[in-house]
Chain A
Amino acid sequence: MIQLQDIKKKYRTGPGAEVHALRGVSLTIEQGEFVAIMGPSGCGKSTLMNILGTLDRPDSGNYRLHGEDVAVLGDKALSRLRNRRIGFVFQSFNLLPLASAQENVSLPLLYAQDAGDVEERSRKALELVGLVDRANHRPGELSGGQQQRVAIARALVTDPEIILADEPTGNLDTRASAEVMAVLEDLADKGKTVVLVTHEPDIAAYTRRVIALRDGQVVSDVATAERKSARQELDRLQKEVAE
């Protein structure tokens, strides 16, 4: 469903200074895959994520989503595509501080063409991440893990095929990370395509495929060696606390 062909992207960082963020990346991700993109900082993984999310355009190369060439789409079509097909999860949650959890979750529906019952759908999305009892709380009244789960509910609310998560556990402790990864794991099990960027091997271990980037190029693309279950890890951590 995601096909990248020789994607290149460079940034101008100053007069005459350029950074080659991506130097020809080609990869294919199928529906329902749970993929981690790994690499040291500056390897181009965030740039790759932004291009996957259509927030950024490559300088050259071809990006097809469901066989459709994304490069020809204008602002309106891209906005609509992001709204319907892609859910974003960010490292710093990026919730609106003055909006309640439910209002934050409903945000994508407000830009949807056929939103249906906004209240009902945002409540269901909160249910999926187990936070229905926090619907009226503002982000400031929630823990980091809870805020990230609200953000995941926001990514889910339009029922997109793809979840793109950029360092989703970067600001979270072990327990909250396991919570968030358990939710993403569930989504992948239910057939969503989940792509996450991380530099932590522990987090990548929960996925099923790890793509390693270095200096803007794919250096390895393998099935996860010792795959762990985030759900089991969470249960283990919870037992530890109980004892």
Chain B
Amino acid sequence: MNAQGLALRIALRNLGVRKGRSALMMSGVAVGIVTLILVTAVTEGTRKKVETGIQSFGPDAVMVVAGSPQTRGPGDERVTTLTAQDLDAIRSGIPGVRIIVPIVARSAQTVIAGDRNTTTTVFASTPEIEEAWDQHAGSGEFLSEAHEASLGRVAVLGTTVARDLFGTDDPIGQTIRLGDQRFEVIGVAQSKGTSPMGMDMDNRVFVPLSTGMRRLYNVDCYSMIRFRLEPGADMQRTVDQVTALLRQRHSIGPGDTDDFSIRSAISFRQMAAKMSRTLTVLLGIITLVALGAGALVLANILTVAVSERRVEIGVRRAVGATRGQITQQFLLEGVVVTILGGLVGIALGTGAVVVLRASTELPVALSWLPFVVGLLVTIGVGVVASLLPARRAASTDVVNALRP
């Protein structure tokens, strides 16, 4: 048993006696910590989701997509300016390009097998897409040069399409119909999960590029060009170079909008930061306001408590407490109250994160960070809010306080 120990015990009894006031003292801090935890959970969740997406997209991959930067999904079908000549120019003009493939893609395509059908995105590309996109066959085989040369009517299904059309049956060797053409299923692609944009990357059907361009869609432009970088190549510089090259090739004047967009790990991270920024700013403001209000309420109530406990302060001074020890005592009490409030906030905030994660699509992640930050912030708020009341307590006029 020491001085601060007994002080603490009595302080806790004080809190217990004045439950309403104690709850008020804790609530501001608790609300602040709840929002603080939500901010960090959302930020951390978004970051994790994007990083996972970047891994499946390919951290060293760059995708040039036809259509303005507002275009989503696999390119704007009305834009016909992304061509084989562009691809050659990138391959020969940009250093560090390792492997480059053209893709013709069409979304919202109906694919039919027997009496079942589903809606999917068709990707027509060369066999190198296997390496350019880590798009390996999980079973069966992938597209080959022979298929490409012969405009082969063969298809590799993403796992979602395979399940939708064939259930648990083996799709390999079966026939599917795309438009008015029949295709033989030669393989099922390995699952790739969700893209950084939130798309199901397994809801795809791959066909040879020549087949797609001539048999299916009759086009001579690409939807996308995808390439990977040599190890050590600078992603941002490459993106800048490709942008400059294509703007020049497509005769886009200064100030005019690009007719293509470039997606890469960099752009995904920028997008994610933009998406979570609004929410972070909003919750951040709430956090600051709540913690500020909490600190003010706390400081006020502690000041009232100090004047109510003048006699106690006088007695402690009379029996040998120094001013410093009185300051310490009230600082400690303030910090204890805020820590209790902070713990309530951490419990509620963690509960909110768990509920959000279970019941919504919001990217929230639990990590140790909010607990540490929350606790540190709590202690900081406690010290700041208690400092003035504690010093006021220390400067209590002992003679007056002890006067009956």
Contact (Cβ within 8 A) B320 A96: no
Contact (Cβ within 8 A) A108 B322: no
Contact (Cβ within 8 A) B1 A55: no
- Chain A residues lying within 8 Å of B320, measured Cβ to Cβ, are 79-80, 82-84, 108, 111-112, 158
Interface stretch among A27-35, A86-94, A204-212, A226-234? A86-94
Contact (Cβ within 8 A) B325 A55: no
Given contacts A79-B322, A90-B404, A96-B315, whether A110 and B17 have CB atoms under 8 Å apart is: no
- Chain B residues lying within 8 Å of A107, measured Cβ to Cβ, are 6, 315-316, 319
Task: Report the separation of the CA atoms of residues A24 and B314 in the bound assembly, to the nearest whole angstrom.
Answer: 27
Is there a chain B Cβ closer than 8 Å to A53's Cβ? yes
Contact (Cβ within 8 A) B17 A98: yes
Task: Out of B6, B311, B324, name the residue touching A110 (CB < 8 Å).
Answer: B6
Contact (Cβ within 8 A) B319 A83: yes
- Chain B residues lying within 8 Å of A179, measured Cβ to Cβ, are none
- Chain B residues lying within 8 Å of A119, measured Cβ to Cβ, are 1
Task: Report the separation of the CA atoms of residues A103 and B9 in the bound assembly, to the nearest whole angstrom.
Answer: 10
Task: Report the separation of the CA atoms of residues A112 and B6 in the bound assembly, to the nearest whole angstrom.
Answer: 14
Query: Which residues from 7 to 33 on chain A have a C-beta closer than 8 Å to any C-beta of chain B?
Result: none
Task: Report the separation of the CA atoms of residues A103 and B6 in the bound assembly, to the nearest whole angstrom.
Answer: 8
A47 nearest CB neighbor, chain B only: B399
Query: Which residues from 301 to 330 on chain B have a C-beta closer than 8 Å to any C-beta of chain A?
Result: 311-312, 314-325
Given contacts A75-B323, A94-B311, whether A110 and B317 have CB atoms under 8 Å apart is: no
Contact (Cβ within 8 A) A94 B402: yes
Contact (Cβ within 8 A) B6 A106: yes
- Chain A residues lying within 8 Å of B13, measured Cβ to Cβ, are 98-99
Interface size on A, residues (CB 8 A): 35
Cβ of A162 to closest chain B Cβ, rounded Å: 13
Contact residues of B: prevailing secondary structure: helix
Cβ of A166 to closest chain B Cβ, rounded Å: 8
Cβ of A96 to closest chain B Cβ, rounded Å: 6
Is there a chain B Cβ closer than 8 Å to A170's Cβ? yes
Contact (Cβ within 8 A) B10 A96: yes
Task: Report the separation of the CA atoms of residues A46 and B402 in the bound assembly, to the nearest whole angstrom.
Answer: 11
Task: Report the separation of the CA atoms of residues A111 and B402 in the bound assembly, to the nearest whole angstrom.
Answer: 19
Query: Which residues from 49 to 80 on chain A have a C-beta closer than 8 Å to any C-beta of chain B?
Result: 50, 53, 55-56, 75-76, 79-80
Number of A-B contacts (CB under 8 A): 83
Task: Report the separation of the CA atoms of residues A173 and B403 in the bound assembly, to the nearest whole angstrom.
Answer: 20
Task: Report the separation of the CA atoms of residues A79 and B3 in the bound assembly, to the nearest whole angstrom.
Answer: 14
Is there a chain B Cβ closer than 8 Å to A167's Cβ? yes
Given contacts A99-B10, A111-B3, A170-B404, whether A154 and B319 have CB atoms under 8 Å apart is: yes
Contact (Cβ within 8 A) B402 A55: yes
Task: Out of B1, B14, B318, name the residue touching A88 (CB < 8 Å).
Answer: B318
- Chain A residues lying within 8 Å of B360, measured Cβ to Cβ, are none
Task: Report the separation of the CA atoms of residues A46 and B399 in the bound assembly, to the nearest whole angstrom.
Answer: 9
Is there a chain B Cβ closer than 8 Å to A172's Cβ? no
Given contacts A76-B322, A98-B14, whether A50 and B2 have CB atoms under 8 Å apart is: no
Contact (Cβ within 8 A) B316 A94: no
Task: Out of A99, A103, A111, A167, name the residue touching B321 (CB < 8 Å).
Answer: A111
Contact (Cβ within 8 A) A56 B319: no
Is there a chain A Cβ closer than 8 Å to B398's Cβ? yes
Task: Report the separation of the CA atoms of residues A112 and B322 in the bound assembly, to the nearest whole angstrom.
Answer: 11
Task: Out of B2, B316, B317, name the residue touching A55 (CB < 8 Å).
Answer: B317
Task: Report the separation of the CA atoms of residues A80 and B321 in the bound assembly, to the nearest whole angstrom.
Answer: 8
Task: Report the separation of the CA atoms of residues A88 and B317 in the bound assembly, to the nearest whole angstrom.
Answer: 11
Task: Report the separation of the CA atoms of residues A112 and B319 in the bound assembly, to the nearest whole angstrom.
Answer: 9
- Chain B residues lying within 8 Å of A75, measured Cβ to Cβ, are 322-323
Task: Report the separation of the CA atoms of residues A98 and B6 in the bound assembly, to the nearest whole angstrom.
Answer: 11
- Chain B residues lying within 8 Å of A135, measured Cβ to Cβ, are none
Cβ of A165 to closest chain B Cβ, rounded Å: 12
- Chain A residues lying within 8 Å of B321, measured Cβ to Cβ, are 79, 111
Cβ of A111 to closest chain B Cβ, rounded Å: 4
- Chain A residues lying within 8 Å of B10, measured Cβ to Cβ, are 96, 98-99, 103
Task: Report the separation of the CA atoms of residues A75 and B402 in the bound assembly, to the nearest whole angstrom.
Answer: 18
Task: Out of B6, B323, B398, B404, name the residue touching A92 (CB < 8 Å).
Answer: B404
Query: Which residues from 385 to 404 on chain B have a C-beta closer than 8 Å to any C-beta of chain A?
Result: 398-399, 402-404
What residues of chain B have their CB less than 8 Å away from a CB belonging to chain A? Answer: 1-3, 6-7, 9-10, 13-14, 17, 311-312, 314-325, 398-399, 402-404
